Amino acid sequence: MLCRKPRLCLAPAAFCFDHVMRGFCRKATCCVSGSSVQLYDNPYKRGGVFDGVGSILTCAVVNSPASPSRILVMKYFSHDEAADFLSVVTSKHLAVDVIGRKLGGTVVSCSNEWFAEASNLLEPRAPTRDATKFVYAGAWYDGWETRRHNEEEYDWVILKMGVAAARIVGCEVDTAFFNGNHAPEISVDALYSESDDEILETDDRWEEVIPKKECGPSQRHFMLRDTATEGSYTHVKLKMYPDGGIARFRLYGRVTPPASLTASSDPIDLASVCNGGVTLCVSDQHFGSADNILLPGRGHDMSDGWETTRSRAPGHVDWAIVQLGRRSSRITSIIVDTAHFRGNFPQFITVHGIDSTSPTPPAHDDPKWFTLVDKSKTGPDAEHIYEIKDFNVNATHVKLTMIPDGGLKRIRVFGN
C-alpha cells in the first residue's frame, strides 16, 4: 500500500553535512552557514534499505538565520524516496503540483532562454539527455538554460498556475543532466493577480515564499515549508543565481477553489484537483499515477490515467482514496471514465464514501465506508455515469475500487 502518511522521526544534530547515499542516490549536500541542521534516516526503510531500491535516504531540516522559514531539504534520486517527499506534501498539506502542464500551467515571461526554453520546466515527463544532439544554440538540453555571464543578480521565469490560486507548500527543482552548467542557487517569489498583463519582474507585489537555496549538479532538490503560505497566489517567479540550467520545476500548493464555485449551490465536481480534491492513498500505481484521475479533461492517452499491475491472486482489488475539495452533504452523480483504456480497463468498479474529520487518511478497510456505486461492469474507452438518488449523507472522501485491476482515466464526484 502506498498510503501517503508522513511519519518523520528527527534525531537532533547541529552540523553541515556532505553525505553520499547508497544505491541510486546522487550526492546530497547541505552547507548553510550558521544554520542548525537535523539529520535523520528515512523511517520507511526496512532492514536498512528501501524495498527494491537499496538506498538509505538521509534528509536535513535546515533553520537558517538568514532564512527564518524552516525548509526541509531532501536531495535524492530514486522513485521511492521522491514518493516520501510527496507523502508529506499530500497527507499533511493536501497539496498538489499547481504549476504543471497537465493542469494548464504556463510560462508568462523570462529573462533569457538562449540555450533551452523555459517551457521545458513544466513538462510532465522525466528529463532526458542526448549527448550527440546539437542545435543552433549549442548542445541540446531538456530544460531551461540561459546564456553565460549574466550581469544581473539572477535569471528569472514567471509562471502562471494551472489552478485558480493556491497556498504554496514547497517545490522541487530538478537539475538532471545539468552538470557544470546547473543553477548554483534558486529562490521562489509569488504574487496574486487576475491578469497576466499586469505581471512584471519588478512588480512590488512579489513575496518570497521559498528562500534562496543551494542547488547541486544533476540532482533533485525538494524544499518544503513548515506550513502553507497564509495567502493564496496565482503566479510564481523562479529565480536562479546567477544563471545556468534547470531541467524541471514542480510547485506544490493547496488549491484555493474559484470563489464562484464555493458560493454556488449547484452540484460541482468535488473530486477535481481544480476544486481542491487530492488523492491520498492508493494500492498500486505501477503504470500510471492515481493523481491523474482528478485532472481536468479526458487526457490524450493512457499515460495520463491510473493503471495498476496485472493481479494474479484470487479476490484481488485495487483502490484509490480521494479527499474531496469540501465536505459534501449530498452527492448527486459520479462519472468513472475509461478513456484510452481499451484492453486494460477494470472488469468492475465500486465507489464508496466516508465522513471523516481525522487528520490521517481513512483506512481502505474502515468499516465506516458506505456504498455510493455498487459493483458495476465497465467497458473500454467510455464515460460511465452513475446517478445517486435520494442519498443525503455527508462525505469527505471517496474510495474508487477496480476489480480486479486495470486502468482508468478520471473520476468525477458531483455534489454540493
Rounded Cα–Cα distance for residues 291 and 304 (Å)? 9
Residue 75 has pLDDT above 50, yes or no: no
More confident residue, 257 or 97: 97
Instruction: Indicate which CATH number applies to the domain containing 404.
Output: 2.60.120.260
Judge whether 398 and 282 are in contact, CB under 8 Å.
no
| Residue ending a domain, choose from 204, 230, 256 | 256
The answer to whether residues 179 and 324 belong to one domain is no
Whole-angstrom Cα distance, residue 346 to residue 317? Answer: 10
Q: Are residues 17 and 152 in the same domain?
A: no
Q: What confidence tens digit (pLDDT) does each residue in 4-43 have? A: 433 333 333 222 222 222 233 333 333 333 333 333 333 2
Residues 231 and 122 in one domain: yes
Same domain, 197 and 106: yes
Same structural domain for residues 76 and 110?
no
Domain span holding position 30: 1-92
Residue 350 makes CB contacts below 8 A (sequence gap 6+) with 371, 373, 374, 375, 376, 400, 401, 403
Average pLDDT taken over every residue of the chain: 84
Do residues 146 and 58 both lie within one domain?
Answer: no
Look at the chain and report how many structural domains it folds into.
Answer: 3
User: Is the domain of 248 the same as that of 102?
Assistant: yes
**Distance (Å, rounded) from C-alpha 358 to C-alpha 101?**
32
227, 256, 285 — which closes off a domain? Answer: 256
**Same domain membership, residue 158 and residue 83:** no
pTM over 0.85: no
pLDDT digits (tens, 9 = 90+) for 334-369: 999 999 999 999 999 999 999 999 989 999 999 999
Where among 256, 283, 312 does a domain terminate? 256
Q: Cell numbers at residue 57, please?
A: 535516504
Residues 396 and 323 in one domain: yes
For residue 272, pLDDT over 50 is answered with yes
